[in-house]
Amino acid sequence: MWGNYALSLYRTLTRHRLYAALNTLGLALGIAVCLILLLVVRFENSFDRWVPDAERIVRVNEWFSFPGRPPSEDASTQAILLPALKQDFPQIEAGARIWAVKTIVRAGDRQSFEDLALTDPAIFDVFSLPFRSGNAATALPDLNSLVVSETMARKYFGTVDAVGRELTVVVDGAARTYRVTGVLKDLPPNSHLELGLIARFDLSVVPSMREFLSRWGSSMLYTYLKLRSPADIAAVQAALPDFIDRRAHDATSSLHHEVAQYRLIPLAGIHFRDAKTGAAFKPGADPLFIGALGVMGVVTLLVAVVNYISLATARAGMRAREVAVRKVMGATRRALVVQFVAESVVMALAAGLVAAALAELALPAVSAVLGEPIHLTYFGAGGAALPLVALCVAVGLLSGVYPALVLSGFRPAAVLASARTPGGGRSGARVREVLAVGQFAIAIGLMACAAVIFAQIQYLRNADVGFRRDGLIVIQGINDPAVSTNMRSMLDAFRRLPGVVSVTASDRRPAGEEDSNGNVSLVSNPKVEPILTRERVGEDYAQTYGLDLLAGRYLDMKHGLDDRASLSDEVYATRGVNIMINEAAARAFGFTQPSKIIGERVRLGRNRSGIEVFATIIGVVRDVRFASPRNPPAPQYYMQDSGLANTDAAANFAAAIRVSEPDMPAVTKRLETAWRTLAPGVPLRAETVDRALKPYYDPDARRGQLFAAGSALSTIIACLGLYGLAAFNTARRTKEIGIRKTLGASTADVLRLLVGEFLRPVLWANLIAWPVAWFVMRSWLSGFDQRIDLNPVYFLAPSLAAILVAVVTVADQTIRVARAEPSRALRYE
């Protein structure tokens, strides 16, 4: 019996090669796309779940909602938060802070920048990290102990057996000798943490930061907690508003739960949360987008399954005679259903094999695009073999049952008595049309989404960031203690280099996330008291960054009151310094017309001696975007200060160098030479602004590419289905076409008829695809502060493309049939 079925299947497949190929290939493509996208989704979802007790580990995020500023969430918290939490909440089993500081590591004659994680020894109680040598209990006995990752051990010692070896690390300007007490296995790629070098956190290690690490007004580091049970998370979270009101007060800051909240982010959710909060260690993943990829995978699979059903019912008519003869020979309906479903399952399994091969071929490229290792494993925990087989069997069943019922339901007498093919033709035509509408709706919708995503990414790439980002190099660390005394001569040296147009310095920089904020009030209306970000800038700032002046004038060293350093404390307190603000700040003060705010005096707060200081607004510039295009730029003011280097150490000063563009690489070389002469002990950290901003733009661009590829494949699959249907339909209608031609229809008449019929489902599909795509894309775009408008072109173009593809797909076969001599069509009656 089964042998006979196999033979029948083999004959059917070899006789109808086109159908066999379309069926297998379409389904395989669908499964492959679904498989790859689900692997991506699974990888993104697997972050940190491998950590033991992950379900009761949290990071404390801080959420701010200051009047006049958009609400923001930050991964960093105060250094004094953890001790307070531990005192107040017995539910905390262990807690640890991590402060990732940029340090210089010296090994022999080479030196390089590394992130050093300054942390509490309890880090190993919170995270049971895998040790290669050493152990958690003995890992960080004192301030000179160092735990390194395998990679770091290999990098600096050439071996993973590094316990007992020494390493010189420059922390806060002072070289310290650390002794390796443990080697950690490298963390798996699905960890939000990146730990290469781990040492103990203590105020004595970072003396210059003592002040900032001891107050509620400065959020500097990450706080992780391990609670006694998962249920404690909600309990502690509920008590945190009271905790803030009770605890978070000191001379510098007074937080209360209406403007600041702590949020406990479960470990497994941190990777997704980091997409919004600004990544702590590595870029987070936007959960909306990851969800969209998953949906697209499933939808693409659906399209392929629909194809399969569609082609199978279409083919049903062609096998009517076989069914009839089998029935006459005594086959029961049940036996026939079993035969056809089995055929379908076998085909689906074959498609599954092809799909696995396609996925294997595509995964390296997908991994490269995403910058994340996506692997396909077959057996063991998380192996794909079993789900894949289950999926294929399910798809086989799903796509086999309906055609099997249609086929097996033919009445043998009617089939055998008639010369015509029953069923398959008209019966099921409506079903197939509905399926085609669904497929094309999906394809058009996906293409429209891909078009919008691409346009948005393209827009962001070229979008106005408020300054000229091309030809700009930023050098960090110019207030490193080893450099700061030389800072002025360093900047002057840069200025003299050929190819350098202008040079400036400031305590904010593109892609730098440290901000210093404070309330600023209008003297004329003290009730208006928005929180502004302060940026201290050196000379030539506006020229170097290429700011756009909206009203007033730029800060200029020629005006005495424009330079903070040239003002005595007395003048500063009475007359005040001149400042420049951005558009957002003007709005925050309630001025829609920037020119109206020029000349207004503002109260900047109190200086360290407790004296109130003032400033006069002399210019308004367009908002500058130093970070993610997803978030609106904060209101801020610019204060010029020629004595930058002498000010506090918490700021991270950076130089910006405008370069006449063609010289870029040569200029970078010259900068390096100049730097090495003046700061031989410190490696140069130079980066073009384009490069520095990449992390804010790249993840979206990469996922956009993946989405575009998926939607293209989905369209191809839909077209494969349409091609099959066209082939079937023209074959079925050969006789009708013959009659029409006999009656005088020209080839063009016939073409119009057949192509028109195929376009109908495509046109209907638009009506479904447009609103859905519009709605989805509107909500996606709303996540961006800078975004494109939803233009009808994004929806019409995919529709036109679908129509074009549909026409080309069916045209070939249709033309062939339409041009044939009518007598051929009518010959077999």
Partner 1 sequence: MITLADIHRQFRTDEVETTALRAIDLNIEAGEFVAIMGPSGCGKSTLLNIMGLIDRPTSGRYLFKGQEVMDLREAELARLRRDNIGFVFQSFNLIDELTIAENVELGLVYRRWAGKERKARVEAAMDRVGVAHRARHYPHQLSGGQQQRAAIARAIVGEPSIILADEPTGNLDTENGEQVMDILKTLNGEGATIVMVTHSPAHADIAKRVVNMLDGQIIVSARRAA
- In this complex, which beta carbon is closest to partner 1, that of residue 714 or of residue 729? 729
CB of 829 to partner 1, least distance (A): 5
- Whose tokens are 């009659």? That residue is 739
561 residue type, one letter: L
Instruction: Find out whether 199 and 99 touch, Cβ atoms under 8 Å.
Output: no
Give residues in contact with partner 1 (CB under 8 A): 419, 426, 735-736, 738-747, 749, 819, 821-824, 826, 829
Rounded to the nearest whole angstrom, what is the least distance from the CB of residue 358 to partner 1 in the complex? 36
CB nearer partner 1, residue 673 or residue 823: 823
- Separation in Å, CA 579 to CA 290, 324, 373, 618: 44, 91, 48, 6
Sign of CA dihedral 254, 260, 266, 271: negative
Residue closer to partner 1 by CB (options 619, 738) is: 738
Q: What is the torsional sign of CA 717, 720, 725, 728?
A: negative
Q: Which is nearer to partner 1, 179 or 752 (CB)?
A: 752
Q: How far apart are CA 311 and CA 303, in angstroms?
A: 12
Q: How far is the CB of 722 from partner 1 (least distance, A)?
A: 20
Instruction: Indicate the angle between helix axes 689-732 and 429-462, nearest 10 degrees.
Output: 160
Question: End-to-end distance of the chain based on CA atoms, in angstroms?
Answer: 34
Q: CB of residue 318 vs partner 1: minimum separation in angstroms?
A: 17
CA neighbor of 45 nearest in space, from 450, 449, 382, 386:
382
Helix (H, G, I), strand (E, B) or coil at 688: strand
Q: Closest CB to partner 1 among 724 and 822? A: 822
Q: 648 is written with which tokens?
A: 């506090």
- In order of 94, 273, 672, the CA distances from 82 in angstroms are 10, 21, 41
CB of 729 to partner 1, least distance (A): 12
Question: Based on CB atoms, which residue is closest to partner 1, 325 or 739?
Answer: 739
d(CA 108, CA 113): 14
* Minimum CB distance to partner 1 smaller for 508 or for 741: 741
Q: Which is nearer to partner 1, 128 or 742 (CB)?
A: 742
What are 32's two structure tokens?
A: 């492959």
Is the Cα dihedral 741, 744, 746, 750 positive or negative? negative
CB of 750 to partner 1, least distance (A): 10
For the bound state, the minimum distance from the C-beta of residue 755 to partner 1, rounded and expressed in Å, comes to 17
Q: What is the Rg, in whole angstroms, of the alpha carbon atoms belonging to the chain?
A: 34
Task: Tell me the C-alpha distance between 202 and 213, whole Å.
Answer: 10
Shortest distance, CB of residue 295 to partner 1, whole angstroms?
38
Beta strands in 517-626 (DSSP E): 517-519, 521-522, 531-537, 549-552, 577-582, 601-606, 612-621
CA-to-CA distance for 473 and 658, rounded, in angstroms? 6
Distance separating alpha carbons of residues 186 and 148, to the nearest angstrom: 9
In the bound complex, what is the minimum distance in angstroms from residue 319's beta carbon to partner 1? 20
Nearest-approach distance from CB 822 to partner 1, in angstroms: 4
Q: What is the largest CA-CA distance in the chain?
A: 111
Shortest distance, CB of residue 771 to partner 1, whole angstroms?
Answer: 32
Instruction: Kindly state the smallest distance separating residue 748's Cβ from partner 1, in Å.
Output: 8
Beta strands in 665-715 (DSSP E): 685-688
Please list, in sequence order, all residues whose beta carbon lies within 8 angstroms of the beta carbon of residue 454, skipping any fewer than 6 positions away: 704, 708
Residue among 543 and 747 whose Cβ is closer to partner 1:
747
> Which of 635, 599, 464 lies closest to 524, judged by CA?
599
Based on CB atoms, which residue is closest to partner 1, 595 or 746? Answer: 746
> Is the Cβ of residue 65 or residue 823 nearer to partner 1 in the bound state?
823
Q: Which residues contact 651 (CB under 8 A, 6 or more apart)?
A: 479, 507, 514, 516, 536
Give whichever of 194 and 749 is closer to partner 1, judged by the CB atom: 749
Q: Which is nearer to partner 1, 570 or 829 (CB)?
A: 829
Q: How far is the CB of 821 from partner 1 (least distance, A)?
A: 6
